[in-house]
Amino acid sequence: MNKAFLPLFYLIWSDDLLTQKEFETVRDFISKQDWISPDDKKRLLSEVDVSNPPTRELLSNWKTAIHETLKQNPKVTSLYELSTILSGKETAFSEARNSFLQLESELGILGEEVLSGFRSVQDSLTSKYDTAYGFDVSKMTEILDSDEAMIIKRVKEIISRKEFAYETTTDIAKYREKVLQWCKILADENLGNMAFPKEYGGGGNMKEYFSIMETLSFHDLSLVIKFGVQFGLWGMSVYFLGTQKHHEKYLKKIGTLEIPGCFAMTETHHGSNVKGLRTTATYNHSSQTFSIHTPSKNDQKEYIGNAAKHGQMATVFAKLIIDGKDYGVNAFIVPIRNADMTTVDGVTIDDCGHKMGLNGVDNGTIRFDNVTIPKENMLDRFASVNENGAFESPIPSDDRRFFTMLGTLVGGRIGIPRSGLSAMKSGLTIAIRYSDRRRQFGPEGGSEVPILNYRMHQRRLMPYLAKSYALHFALRYLTDRFLKRTENEMQEIEALAAGMKAYTTWTVRDGLQECREAMGGKGYLSENRIDALKNDTEIYTTFEGDNTVLMQLVAKNRLSVFRKEFGKLDVAGMITYVFENAKTAVAEKNPIITRRTDEAHLLDVDFHLQAFQYREKTILASAARRLKKLIDSGMDAYDAFNVTQHQMIDVATAYLERVILEQFQKSIIATEDVACKKRLEQLRNLFALYQIEVHKGWYLEDGYMENAKTKAIRKLVNQLCWDIRIDAVPLVDAFAIPENCLGAEILKG
Amino acid sequence: MNKAFLPLFYLIWSDDLLTQKEFETVRDFISKQDWISPDDKKRLLSEVDVSNPPTRELLSNWKTAIHETLKQNPKVTSLYELSTILSGKETAFSEARNSFLQLESELGILGEEVLSGFRSVQDSLTSKYDTAYGFDVSKMTEILDSDEAMIIKRVKEIISRKEFAYETTTDIAKYREKVLQWCKILADENLGNMAFPKEYGGGGNMKEYFSIMETLSFHDLSLVIKFGVQFGLWGMSVYFLGTQKHHEKYLKKIGTLEIPGCFAMTETHHGSNVKGLRTTATYNHSSQTFSIHTPSKNDQKEYIGNAAKHGQMATVFAKLIIDGKDYGVNAFIVPIRNADMTTVDGVTIDDCGHKMGLNGVDNGTIRFDNVTIPKENMLDRFASVNENGAFESPIPSDDRRFFTMLGTLVGGRIGIPRSGLSAMKSGLTIAIRYSDRRRQFGPEGGSEVPILNYRMHQRRLMPYLAKSYALHFALRYLTDRFLKRTENEMQEIEALAAGMKAYTTWTVRDGLQECREAMGGKGYLSENRIDALKNDTEIYTTFEGDNTVLMQLVAKNRLSVFRKEFGKLDVAGMITYVFENAKTAVAEKNPIITRRTDEAHLLDVDFHLQAFQYREKTILASAARRLKKLIDSGMDAYDAFNVTQHQMIDVATAYLERVILEQFQKSIIATEDVACKKRLEQLRNLFALYQIEVHKGWYLEDGYMENAKTKAIRKLVNQLCWDIRIDAVPLVDAFAIPENCLGAEILKG
């Protein structure tokens, strides 16, 4: 009979969730059992005496006895059943069934769970699961690279050369020189000037320039940013804001890196609000020159890449002053260093010093003390000073002219998210491959399990894998729109670029954070590169426009579009608007459908698209109404926009997510390979449902979904993470990042 | 009459949201107006000809005319009204009212908004708002420091000395030496041995040891971790796992830093699953020694602080083997370096190299090739090998013994979140003070506005300010519970510590991220310290237990408590349980209350506490049910836990948030100063409502709240952020972080 208590006794002495209190519970129980003889009671009680523990051997014998019994009775399903068998099926014990079950309850143990712990489980679902190669990885790579495959391949070949071995020094002076050398190699390969016109030695191919930025971003990100400053910002500002005389004089030398240069827009006190720049360019009639001047310390140019060390010239943005009159911000080419690399008279350059990341880029501050430049140095595509010293421009409004100038430079807001996405792809490749190999924990008695088999681990990484695919296609779409833009589309495309820049770089920030944590200590060692990927891309959320500010811009654009499109509509029209292009959305508000939870429905891309569209339109209309209401109530428009700032982020997010999902779906439709298509569909499903889950508070608040539905979606997201895990390694393999670029020690050998 | 169109014309030429398409709209409109004479039409049309823009002067004249008119007619409230006045109140124009309003609509402009843009607004709500000092900052500091004020003051005095000037080198060798020197100063000040018994030169004061860790964390975090490794991990492991002979031999020398040492638990392949450690300590009967051995490369000790450079000895965790039999993981003191700092024979140490942060700590790997140590080096408080070479222990279960050993070291899970919270306080102080000074954008014609006046900026920082206060009190509570612990409370306290470690360090991660972004480029420069704060604390989410794993432990503990407490209950009892201590919760499910949106109710702490408790209990009961259901359905328990991992995080989070809110409220009740109390209440309200907003999806899904309520809560969160902004600077001032420790360049001068 004694043996019936073995499992309980074993548990109480070994389970670390049971405390001393439970010894009392068991002792009480034994004392109260009438069917146990006084002698047996005494013996039993002595075995649960906290001051007199069994020997380690005895405990071990108990365990062996339990194991043996379970081996001989594989069909046992409850702790009580096990105990009954151990008791030799003693009648008295059998009769004590209820009180025994009650004891189990009071101890807070779940018999079936305990039993499963006693068994050696070699083949649990979790431990059996593993990576499979169910589709052709190279086909998937083809789908991703599409018509950019050739240039991508060429760039990969270059950054895989031994000269591109990573620099690991912490000496930023050395690092900066290395990055400059790399840039020179790329210039020599005619990659830097890819977007410049052919007549100035360039490739005349803007599309390939973006592919280059993206592919370079599998390598060192300081290199990418230095490259972008030189050829994208400095070069393109001369190209887009200047005229033929500037192109002839500078473009070739910029493309060969003979003239390293800067893009000097941001000032210490004016970053996002560039309209408020304070540097001045004062026209001198007599000498036909401009004096470039920094009024005070806070007006110095700051964070300027290429400034601290290598830059010789700069495109400087400054307010043009003629005869004391301010003509708004214009751009000027200003030499900052002489041939011997000393600074030009009147120019003061300081080093921004060590940064969180991108330490291979020499950011600096620049101050001008009435530095004189010739009149022809004004980049005069949009405005000029004529022979009589009078201002001329085809765009009469200073603000509008400046925004038009900025509009020509929107390419940066395409290059940066594409670069950031590459960094996230690198991080995901490292983290997913590592998690597929690294084993820890496992079923009792079984071997350890790849950590990627754990549901939380999947929950951390799979949604970002899905997002990386989603964003890949959306950024290709953005690029395409930009390359084929017409005048009338410019505002939409500028807003889309601003939004995609913000949305992507925030996603990259979060995705790399998950990669870091998912890799534990290994993710903290610089040798595994998550460090650099994270810290280098950290500033992506700030430069080329602070994300929060950009999202406000996107929202303002959406509001403007909304008002223009629906200026004619009344309230009824507004409602129609919300449901336009989402014809079944009205039906969705039908209780039967707001509650629909079957997989066929939840995995239907039309359902996803409708849900995204509905959210986009409802939020937009609601923000417009709120703003109008506040202003109508007498609130200053500036204050009203401030009050609704938070809502504006939602307006922009909902819009961007709809675009991303739409483009993902379009790419899937165009995919022919069946196996690849299936994986892309799964990723799209995860992207869509994960975002709906993120916004479930909104959907429930709105009534578009009921709780049964949001609960079903959560379950399905978990299931999709589990399903995609099997393909996760081939899915990151498809990014086809050169092994030497991944560079993580943990993946070697 | 012409003049009536000035505002529209000005807009169309200057507003960057209006495109070429809108020129057509205006031209169409003009053409269709019968009341305009053909000549006027012609003139008007010529002014909206996209190929023939007005001169800059003309545009400027239009603007002046509009401004003047508005100045003379301050009561004008609509664009139409303005145009009417400009038209000289021409009848024909007046009659065109409807079509003019229609045109406004079609252009997508909101008259009132445009008008507000034309006016120079000097005193908008947003620009007038500013920091106020409405409470006594030093009183608030007293409330925070409480009975630890003396030791906090002493530590602050020490870290403010000139020897503690920050080290800015990127040379990690130099940095490590500097950190060692700092540690020596602290040892000389008797801070390191504060928790050691007085008979070994210590202060016998564990409570003050925690205060020291917390206060040091206002300074360099490498210093804190090095300090923690030496005195907390190495010292405390000898103290808690060893016996008198070890204390006598080592404690004094550890406290003076005469013996720098390591805590060698983690192995390359066993971090979270320490039970699976593979290093062995084999007993040799003849020589009465142990051989410490690393079976393979993946079993080496990794990330060990103090190992790469300075450590002379280590507490090594290894499986004890006697006569080929495994007795589970035990701890041993192993010399790793000789007096001349060469490594001991058989010991191989490698450097972990550069890390994302904490580069002042010399982390390394250690491998043992049958290193012999004398028998007395086994830390034998919980297990020993007797004179006959037999294993002895008062705890028969190997697992339970090991977890008991780990339990003595739980102090690390108190020290780390307190350290992390200090880092977040530093970050918030820097970011909030900066945002209070830094101005950008502003109303048209007005001066620029402190960025902390922007709602999104407040949304980013105020919730973390509230959380830093909430966590401050909760961590004090945790410390107090730990210091006064009884045997029966240990499991609860261990779980609470694990959970608070995870919850706090995740909050710190997110809070510092917001600080970084809120400071834009300034947050990226190392000179402003956000860099170091972020990267140093990044690993806090991993070490002392991976957060995700810890949250699972917390959930398991909660499930066990739940089962024990409610083993006796049936379904009805379960429901009662959910509502226990939340008596009005049943009433809450009453539609009138689920919809209640008045401020009095929403700001009522009882409502907050009930909502938190309700969530905690509902989630816990639901997870328990789900787990049981899965196991009952035949799923292996190990798989079932995997399937519910995601839910377990919620179980733990809901529990922790309830504890945090409860402790915040208790501290408020104990606060006497009226002005401080009022601020603490506001912070508590923000903490509570912000978390409810974060979880609104859950509350709506559950039906505990209806949409009117969650919407009202969002509005109130915005309002609280706005209200608290006025006190934000004094609220971070109250953290009383020494200026030299803040060390951010941006705050100087």
Bigger pLDDT: A733 vs B125:
A733
State the ipTM, two decimals.
Answer: 0.95
How far apart are alpha carbons A360 and B739 in whole angstroms?
31
How far apart are alpha carbons A278 and A266 in whole angstroms?
10
In a domain, B88, yes or no: yes
Nearest to A124 among B117, B354, B636 (CB): B636
**Closest residue on chain B to A170 (Cα):** B170
Short-list B500, B506, B702, CA closest to B621: B702
Same domain, A309 and A399: yes
- The position carrying tokens 């789900």 is B626
Contacts of A632 in chain B (CB under 8 A): 112
**Closest residue on chain A to B435 (Cα):** A269
**Closest residue on chain A to B628 (Cα):** A110
B366 touches B349 (CB < 8 A) = yes
- What pLDDT, on the 0 to 100 scale, is given for residue B579? 52
Tens digits of residue pLDDT in B658-686: 999 999 999 999 999 999 999 999 999 99
Same domain, A624 and A690: yes
How far apart are alpha carbons B302 and B361 in whole angstroms?
13
* B457 Cβ contact partners less than 8 Å away, ≥ 6 residues apart: A548, B435, B451, B518
B112 touches B7 (CB < 8 A) = no
Short-list B231, B221, B296, B234, CA closest to B264: B234
The alpha carbon of residue B14 is apart from the nearest alpha carbon of chain A, in Å, by 5
Quick one: residue B580, left, alpha or beta (phi over 0 = left, psi -120 to 50 = alpha)? beta
For residue B410, what is the DSSP state? T
Instruction: Give the end of a domain, one of B64, B91, B119.
Output: B119
A-contacting residues of B 677-716, CB under 8 Å? 696-697, 700-703, 707, 710-711
- CB–CB contact A646 B703 (8 Å): no
Short-list B492, B477, B503, B422, CA closest to B663: B477
3 state SS of A420: helix
In a domain, B247, yes or no: no
Bigger pLDDT: B24 vs A211:
A211
- Return the number of other C-beta atoms located less than 10 Å from residue B346's C-beta: 17
**How many Cα atoms are found within 13 Å in the side-chain-facing hemisphere of B22?**
27
Q: How many Å separate Cα B463 from the centre of its chain? A: 10
Averaged pLDDT for residues A39-47: 91
String of b and e for B640-671 (b: at least 16 CB within 10 Å)? bbbbbbbbbbbbbbbbbbbbbbbbbbebbeeb
- What pLDDT, on the 0 to 100 scale, is given for residue A535? 98
The enclosing domain of B221 has a CATH number of 1.10.540
Tens digits of residue pLDDT in A536-562: 999 999 999 999 999 999 999 999 988
Instruction: Give the end of a domain, one of A391, A409, A427.
Output: A409
3 state SS of B439: strand
Band (A596; pLDDT cuts 50, 70, 90): confident
- CB–CB contact B520 A272 (8 Å): yes
B83 touches B8 (CB < 8 A) = yes
How far apart are alpha carbons A59 and B398 in whole angstroms?
10
- CB–CB contact A17 B104 (8 Å): no
- The position carrying tokens 């003051």 is B153
HEC secondary structure over A430-477: HHHHHHHHCEECCCCCCCCEEHHHCHHHHHHHHHHHHHHHHHHHHHHH
Same domain, A314 and A341: yes
**How many Cα atoms are found within 13 Å in the side-chain-facing hemisphere of A451?**
26
In a domain, B68, yes or no: yes
- In chain A, the number of structural domains is 3
Q: Is B352 on the interface with A (CB under 8 A)?
A: yes
The alpha carbon of residue A62 is apart from the nearest alpha carbon of chain B, in Å, by 11
The alpha carbon of residue A30 is apart from the nearest alpha carbon of chain B, in Å, by 17
String of b and e for B10-25 (b: at least 16 CB within 10 Å)? bbbbbbbbbbeebbeb
Same domain, A459 and A333: no
Same domain, B608 and B650: yes
For residue B270, what is the DSSP state? B
Residue A593 has pLDDT above 80, yes or no: no
The enclosing domain of A405 has a CATH number of 2.40.110.10
- What pLDDT, on the 0 to 100 scale, is given for residue A582? 46
How far apart are alpha carbons A50 and B541 in whole angstroms?
37
Same domain, B340 and B448: no
3 state SS of B666: helix
- CB–CB contact A396 B22 (8 Å): no
What is the four-CA torsion angle of A249, A251, A255, A258, rounded to 10 degrees? Answer: 20
Output the CA–CA distances (angstroms, integers) from residue A90 to A35, A43, A133, in the order listed. 11, 18, 55
Test the A interface: residue of B304, B356, B362 with most A CBs within 10 Å: B356
- CB–CB contact A525 B355 (8 Å): yes
3 state SS of B634: coil
* B71 Cβ contact partners less than 8 Å away, ≥ 6 residues apart: none
3 state SS of A642: helix
B363 touches B311 (CB < 8 A) = no
In a domain, A713, yes or no: yes
- CB–CB contact B627 A110 (8 Å): yes
Question: What DSSP letter does each residue of A508-564 carry, written as one string?
Answer: HHHHHHHHHHHTGGGGTBGGGSHHHHHHHHHGGGTTTS-HHHHHHHHHHHHHHHHHH
- Return the number of other C-beta atoms located less than 10 Å from residue A567's C-beta: 18
Band (A583; pLDDT cuts 50, 70, 90): very low
Tens digits of residue pLDDT in A420-477: 999 999 999 999 999 999 998 888 777 889 999 999 999 999 999 999 999 999 999 9
B300 touches B316 (CB < 8 A) = no
Same domain, B393 and B422: no
Using 50 as the pLDDT threshold, list the residues of chain B that sit under it.
571, 581-584, 586
Averaged pLDDT for residues A602-626: 95
- What pLDDT, on the 0 to 100 scale, is given for residue A67? 87
Q: Six-digit token pair at B217?
A: 């964390």
Residue A592 has pLDDT above 60, yes or no: yes
Same domain, B103 and B206: no
In a domain, A125, yes or no: no
**Closest residue on chain B to A273 (Cα):** B441
B443 touches B710 (CB < 8 A) = no
Provide the terminal-to-terminal Cα distance of chain B, rounded to the nearest Å: 57
Report which residue type is found at A746: I
3 state SS of B45: helix
How far apart are alpha carbons B210 and B195 in whole angstroms?
9
Same domain, B81 and B15: yes
Nearest to A628 among B110, B530, B710 (CB): B110
Instruction: Give the end of a domain, one of B57, B91, B119.
Output: B119
Spell out the alpha helix ranges (H) of B129-251.
137-145, 149-159, 172-188, 206-216, 221-227, 236-241, 244-246
Q: Longest Cα pair distance anywhere in chain A, in angstroms? A: 119
Averaged pLDDT for residues A735-742: 97
Angle at A281 (CA atoms; ends A280, A282), nearest 5 degrees: 105
In a domain, A131, yes or no: no
Bigger pLDDT: B80 vs A567:
B80
**How many Cα atoms are found within 13 Å in the side-chain-facing hemisphere of B230?**
33
Average pLDDT, chain A: 93
Same domain, B658 and B594: yes
Q: Six-digit token pair at A93?
A: 């014990």
- CB–CB contact B638 A560 (8 Å): no
Same domain, A472 and A389: no
Which range of A63-67, A370-374, B105-109 scores highest in mean pLDDT? It is A370-374
- CB–CB contact B637 A117 (8 Å): yes
Same domain, A425 and A364: no
B-contacting residues of A 76-135, CB under 8 Å? 102, 104-110, 112-113, 116-117, 121, 124-126
- What pLDDT, on the 0 to 100 scale, is given for residue B568? 54
Test the B interface: residue of A29, A113, A166 with most B CBs within 10 Å: A113
Contacts of B561 in chain A (CB under 8 A): 108
* A499 Cβ contact partners less than 8 Å away, ≥ 6 residues apart: A550, A551, A554, A652, A655, A656
In a domain, B130, yes or no: no
In a domain, B255, yes or no: no
B675 touches B135 (CB < 8 A) = yes
Tens digits of residue pLDDT in A394-405: 999 999 999 999
Band (A165; pLDDT cuts 50, 70, 90): very high
Contacts of B404 in chain A (CB under 8 A): 16
Test the A interface: residue of B49, B449, B458, B701 with most A CBs within 10 Å: B701
A-contacting residues of B 610-669, CB under 8 Å? 627-628, 631-632, 635-640, 642-646, 649
Angle at B598 (CA atoms; ends B594, B600), nearest 5 degrees: 110
Short-list A262, A294, A312, A290, CA closest to A377: A290
How is the beta sheet containing B347-351 ordered, strand by strand?
B301-304, B364-368, B347-351
Contacts of A396 in chain B (CB under 8 A): 13-14, 53-56, 58-59
**Closest residue on chain A to B529 (Cα):** A356
A-contacting residues of B 49-68, CB under 8 Å? 53-56, 58-59
- What pLDDT, on the 0 to 100 scale, is given for residue A95? 81
- What pLDDT, on the 0 to 100 scale, is given for residue A656? 98
Band (A115; pLDDT cuts 50, 70, 90): confident
Report which residue type is found at A724: I
For residue A636, what is the DSSP state? -
How far apart are alpha carbons B128 and A190 in whole angstroms?
54
Q: Which residue range(s) make up the domain with A569?
A: 413-747
Q: Longest Cα pair distance anywhere in chain B, in angstroms? A: 119
Kindly report the backbone phi and psi dihedral angles of residue B371, in degrees, each rounded to the nearest multiple of 5, phi listed first.
-85, 125
